[in-house]
Amino acid sequence: MSFDSLGLAPALLRALADYGYTQPTPIQAAAIPPALAGHDLLAAAQTGTGKTAAFALPLLQKLSTSGQTMTRRPRALVLTPTRELAAQVHENLRDYGKQMQVSATTIFGGVSMGPQINALRRGVDIVIATPGRLMDHMQQRTLDLSAVETLVLDEADRMLDMGFLPALKRILVALPKKRQTLLFSATFAPAIKTLAMEFMHNPREISVSAPNAVATLVSHQVHPVDASRKRDLLLHLLSADSRRQSLVFSRTKHGADKLVTFLNASGLRSAAIHGNKSQNARTRALSDFKSGRVTVLVATDIAARGIDIEQLPIVINFDLPSVAEDYVHRIGRTGRAGMEGLAVSLVSHDESGLLFDIRKLLKQDIAITPIAGYEPSAPLRLDAGAPRPKQGGGGGGQRQSRPPRQGKPAGSARPSGYAPQGRGDHAAGNQRRRSNSRPAAKA
């Protein structure tokens, strides 16, 4: 299937061709026609599936072909859970809409309100916002939502996970009833369905992969290791190919900072991205990583959510996430857009229970491969009663807490060899990444 058959305007088709996109991804093929026809959509799609274009293209087309543009009353609102995702959606909208007269601005916390207020006063078509800061603007009456025709809820499940439900409800009731709503979510948790039933009009449901599905091109490796030796093992793995870029996940902000200090001191250019960093520091870390100036980006779950890094060959879980669903989100950053990816987890004995949950969620065994010289003093346990990190403790000396879950033991672990270079030529991967880099944003 080609983009031409989806009913997109020539200006968008030209922008897509500039991007080098030759055919729509499954979520784009399924979502664009009904979105262009004006239907509400309830779309199950995780990061990495091309979901941003699935809503951005119909949104741009609708705005460019109808009504006044750049008034003080924005006509579209895109809500995202994080600042990074808001910035990324903004960048995509600018790139896809570069041949159209449609303007967009971002509204998120961590930066001063003044420039945001000025941008709104100048007039804008699309506001991309995180719920908290949007509420601030609503309360201060610096934003008029009365002309919003299209609402996009991006990563709605994550917004609910982050406790934004009350804010979302207040925003939703402040919007015009007559509007199109496009909701994208990695999973259709019951709370998402409830939200959809309450605030959407007869939505079309689209699901291109099973909820919680993991990109099929991603292979998983678990290396059991004592918590006290995780840093050394990480360094060992990263040093196997110091040119290869890796995204490393830490459960805590403090843990991420400590890891970055350690890696930098060990000669690996690293940066952290987490909620305690200023917006500028986060943006700089991400752009340094994208440009290749930084080889290792250490991120916490919330900060990393939605980060769009093209064709990342490897994601390393320095700590397992405390909630199994986050594993799916984390590794959504590798194996994207048809590329193969590798998800490596360093798992200490006290995280055994978390690994049990992940295997249960993925419904698959994950090879457990000790690395010579880093074998743990106690083997991992893979049953429902397996230990989980205590509050204030955790793998690699980090916090963690969650009530144990019930369930049956998963199948036994199959050891297999670790192959750091086994997922293809990473230098070539980086080359592809650079050559595929996007056209510079217009504004």
List the x/- string, 26-45, binding to ligand AMP by CB under 6 A. --x-----------------
114 vs 338, beta carbon nearer ligand AMP: 338
Exactly one of 310, 369, 370, 384 binds ligand AMP (CB under 6 A); that residue is: 310
Is 61 an interacting residue with respect to ligand AMP (CB under 6 A)?
no
The CA distance from 125 to 115, in Å, is 16
Stretch that binds ligand AMP, among 47-55, 67-75, 319-327, 367-375 (CB under 6 A): 47-55
> Which one-letter amino acid corresponds to residue 110?
G
* Neighbour order of strands in the sheet with 180-185: 104-107, 126-129, 76-79, 150-153, 180-185, 41-44, 204-207
Question: Do 214 and 328 meet the contact criterion of CB atoms below 8 Å apart?
Answer: yes
Query: Considering the rule CB under 6 A, would residue 18 count as an interface residue with ligand AMP?
Result: no
DSSP-assigned letters across all residues of 41-78: EEEE--TTSSHHHHHHHHHHHHHHHSS--S-SS-SEEE
Q: Which of 330, 336, 359, 426 binds ligand AMP (CB under 6 A)?
A: 336
Binding mask 362-401 for ligand AMP (x = CB under 6 A): ----------------------------------------
Q: Which is nearer to ligand AMP, 27 or 225 (CB)?
A: 27
Joined tokens for residue 365: 């065994």
The residue from 24, 335, 396, 429 that contacts ligand AMP (CB under 6 A) is 24
For 134, counting Cβ atoms within 10 Å of its Cβ (0-12 exposed, 13-18 middle, 19+ buried), the class is buried
The token pair that represents 223 in the structure block: 């290396």
Rounded least distance, CB 170 to ligand AMP, Å: 27
Q: Which stretch binds ligand AMP (CB under 6 A): 17-25, 103-111, 166-174, 414-422?
A: 17-25
Q: How far is the CB of 92 from ligand AMP (least distance, A)?
A: 7
CA–CA distance, 31 with 180 (Å, rounded to integer): 13
Q: Give whole-number Cα distances, 155 to 96, 189, 291, 336, 343, in Å.
A: 20, 12, 26, 17, 22
What binding mask, one character per residue, do residues 337-356 give for ligand AMP by CB under 6 A, x or -?
A: x-------------------
Nearest-approach distance from CB 210 to ligand AMP, in angstroms: 17
DSSP E strands, 73-145: 76-79, 104-107, 126-129
Site for ligand AMP contains 80 (CB under 6 A): no
State which of positions 117-146 bind ligand AMP (CB under 6 A). none
**Is position 187 an interface residue for ligand AMP (rule: CB under 6 A)?**
no
Question: Rounded to whole angstroms, how far apart are CA atoms 368 and 208?
Answer: 30
Residue 47 contacts ligand AMP per CB under 6 A: yes
Residue 53 sits in the site that holds ligand AMP (CB under 6 A): yes
- DSSP assignment letter at 342: E
Residues that bind ligand AMP (CB under 6 A): 21, 24-25, 28, 47-53, 308, 310, 336-337
